[in-house]
Structure 1
Amino acid sequence: MSWNILVIGICVLLLLFSAWKEYQRENKTHMLLRVIAVVVAVSALACIILPLMYKTNQTVADNHRGILLTDGFSTDSLKKYPDVPVFTASAAMKKEYPKAILLQTLSLIKTGYPQLTQIQVLGYGLDEDGLKRLNMPVLFNRPAKPAGLSSVSWNGDLKAGESLKVQGKFNNPDGKTYTILLKGLNVTLDSITQKTNGDFELHTIPKTTGNVVYNLIVTDGKDTIENNALPLHIEAVKPVRVLILSSSPDFENRFLKNWLSANGYTVYTRTAISKDKFSTEAVNAKQIPLTNLGTGTLQNFDVVVSDASALQALLVPEALALKQQVTQSGLGLIVRADSAAKTTSWFQSSFPLVKTSGQTQNAAALQISGQTAATEKLKIDPVGIVYKQGTQVLVSDGQSKALVSSTLSGAGKLVFSALGNTYNWMLGGDENDYTAYWSLLINKAARKAAVQKSLSLITDIPQTNHETTLQVLSASAPDSVKLNDLQPAFAQNAEIPFLWQAKFWPGRSGWQKVANGDAKMNDVYVYGENDWKNIKNLHKIFVTNSYANKNLLNYTHVQQKEQAITQPVPKIWFFLLFLTACSFLWAEAKFWAV
């Protein structure tokens, strides 16, 4: 016997018994009302006990959900979603969770399972390409950032002899001890221990030229956490041609000439020995006439190094030819301040000097641009360069007083130095600081070769089987540019006419051969799927979270439908009827009975 029949039977018997008792009463006043009250009370009691329901239509969210597994998902998290279809586009994740449906492409979810209206993404999420193919509303619980490299940058295009600098940020939420290694040709070139969140920097000077691949490795004790490719293009340097002009023989120019010649530079010197008489010398090159510095002669050099007195002593045609070569042809000029320096001269107008009265030479450690550590102490004069807009400070002392600055002068560059005794570094055996100082000044000032076309990949981390964007800067259509012997279809930017872009999907990782007819262009590198996984996962977290938030409003507007639902009848109304009927029966028996 079911519960409902039992309740109804008992209530019917209770109703008959209560009605019979009312009928048996001698006082027949209000008998009809008393019987009605008994019927209402017993019926209300039955309705309170019985599960009464009713059906209605209601607008509800169409919440047909699927689960998509991505890198970093936890198998335990799937216990929250029983009887929900699970998908993945990775064969490795299919092995880890065999119940998942393996898809060739994410677009198959929308076309093959039209009943699904949203996807719950587990793990680190998808990149822009994956979200574009999925094209569905997404639910995403942003996971914690994984331990490892969170950002990295390095100067991948180098000249032979230049220092490679690898800088980045490391995420270490658990406080473990990690080691970051920079390796080249299986040799550890630099390393650092990372125990907390923070920045790191590694550096080395590559010994080879051409296309090479170093590795940035993260280890946790004996285990390798990350092993990322670090592609470099190291170009053999064509010797820089330097002309040294001196108003008189001195140690600064003698040491500079020796250092330049020892490092493979082409060096010419012209030193005044009396009025209109010069001593000339050529090192690592054939001698050429230097008596008259006309335009034809100055075209043979990339940099001119001179003291201010030697420049002031130039003949008018020589001075005009030098200024023309700097401003129109890109010749670099490095000027050393001396007693003949004048702020009104064209080469010093951007570098006014300021002297500190009552002070003599003092020893100070200098900060060279691009160097993390300060130099050994050097005696400097109580003079500095006043900063002017458009200049760049290259060397300063501990009080941030500028000692060397540079600026553009037409097509060329001017470098002005208040230091005249850097040879003391060499006398003290400190060749590293001397090399860093003069390498910076010469590289900053040297005449730059004109570049007709340059090709680059503007995708952050180009990898196999992913859309990658090629970019070429060219005044004309780059019809001669080929990538792996194929000619990309470049389209001109509507707003920037010298910018051309093309899309391609690399089928293999490694160096991609770039050709540009007879002209030379650097090859480009495409990473493998396992390179920079931690940084890619952080990027996936960001773009997936942004995508989910942007699509939330669209989902709430369109994913709704009418649905028939069953609702329980509120018991409060039956309780009030029962209470009213019982109250009437009690009052009638107490106050109106005779």
Structure 2
Amino acid sequence: MNVHYIIILSALIFLAFLLFKEWKRENSSRLWIRMIGSAIAVVSLVLLLIPIKYEVEKKESINELVIFTEGVNLDSLPKNKKVYTVDSSLLQKNFKTKLTYIPDLAYYLAKHPQVKQVNVYGNGLASADLASIKKLQFTFHPSAFPSGIPSIYWDRQIISTHKLQVQGTYLNNLSKPVQLVLKGLGSNLDSVVINKKESISFSLTHTPKLVGKAVYKLIALSGKDTLSQEEIPFEVIEKPPVKVLVLAASPDFEYKFLKNWLYQNQYPVVFRSRISKDKFSVDYLNTKSTSVDKVNQSLLQQFDLLIADDAELALLSASEKLTLEKQIEQGLGLLIRINENKPISVFSKKFAYGAPSTIRDKSYRLKLMENLLSPLEIDQPLYFNLKSGNQPVVFTSEAKIMVNNMMYGSGKIMVSTIPATYHWFLNGLKIDYANFWTELINKSAKKYNNQLQYKIEPAFPLINQQANIHIENPEAGNPVSILVDSLVLAPLQNKYMPFVWKGTFWPQQKGWHSLKVNQQSATSFYVFGENSWSSIRDADKIKANLQIAKVQLQKPAELLEKSEKEKREVSKWWFFFLFLMSAGYLWAEGRMD
């Protein structure tokens, strides 16, 4: 016999007994109230044991996908919609029965081609998942930026006697101040205080006294509480910095900010600015004085990189141009700034250019290698056309080339058509400014001992997570060998930039790892723990999802719905309260006799 029938039969017998007992009681006052109370108590007890279910109509969009990601507000669960997640960590929450887990979003979308729109809540999708929704309508509902450090930069390798500069932004969402402390070798080296509900740019500095590898700590404190503790790995090497010669036709704002930045970062710089035809203003920064009236062999051999605007190069004499060309062939780097709407020097004319743009004062999102920089609002008249032998460095989000590079003998010629990068600096985006100029200088400067350029992506590689090593090989046709510790990688050549090779690996251990390319001397990089720099990774993910949502903003897809019947159970708490009230009344009424 079904257990429900047994419960009901037993309850009826028990109810009959209670009613009979009440009927036979000598005190017949409030008889009907006592009988109703007994009936309510028995029925409530039965309904506690036998659930009552009812049906509701649930409408679900068959071509819409709602995805929750880490950082989502748990109270924002849409009503009457099926919700999915690609983050397994969310299944550990107490509402896991409301979520459906998708282990592989690309595979799910391939199996459900009817999905036309994806709505994402929280910190957003990872880059691999974003790639799978390129052809779909994408709407992003971001969570608030997390309290902590959303962006940070420091040189992972510095020259001995130079300062370690840790620059970044701190967002304090708390209602009390936060102290950010740079700590190393057991001592507090520098600190800054961030007031409550404030976001500031910070710069912490220290001059290490050691040579070799070190790991400092960046600690966020609020009173006696430690909010975060992150690692700052770096390596101090005994290596001369890039020696820079700057030739300016006029001292504009771009040169002013660049000169100050080079000086603050300990570059030896000689800055020559033309006053008239044969008169110059000269500044010597972090270096001794030398004659710069004539651009000759003895002058150029003292430097690794020449930065000059195109107009100044055009004013050089024929003999100076010939000398400069020979020095580039022997390894000197030349970085040219073009401020006009066309090239005018013999060096900048070695590149191909597109038709001048008529758009002025546009905000550009620049891509430097694999890094997406903050928007830069500039008057940009000129772009490059790609030709054989070019090595593009900086692109717009529309894939237009704004900084181009080429090998010239043993040296390099790099040309930038970006007129004013100092807007980054004025807008407080010092990290973007530093990343931009550091990359351009390192790429274009003279290389010693056939030095290869490499970059590790992401900037904070984590254990058990994919990491990519990008290698630049001047001999584009020759493959490179990459050795990480004892692991030999199989690099892939870039289809569009054949001088760039990429090796992929999954680090298994936290800490320092060695990197050797083409049997050269090994260099080192650091792998972080799986929970390190979570605020930066969350902020980067939110920014990437916002950017994709902005690009894919279009007319929403027409949503198709289907109706389903869903059974729901009446909460047992109602019956529990009814039982307590009725039983309580019967007990109290009995005490009144």
Q: Decide which structure has the larger Cα Rg and report it.
A: 1
TM-score (ref. length: structure 1): 0.46
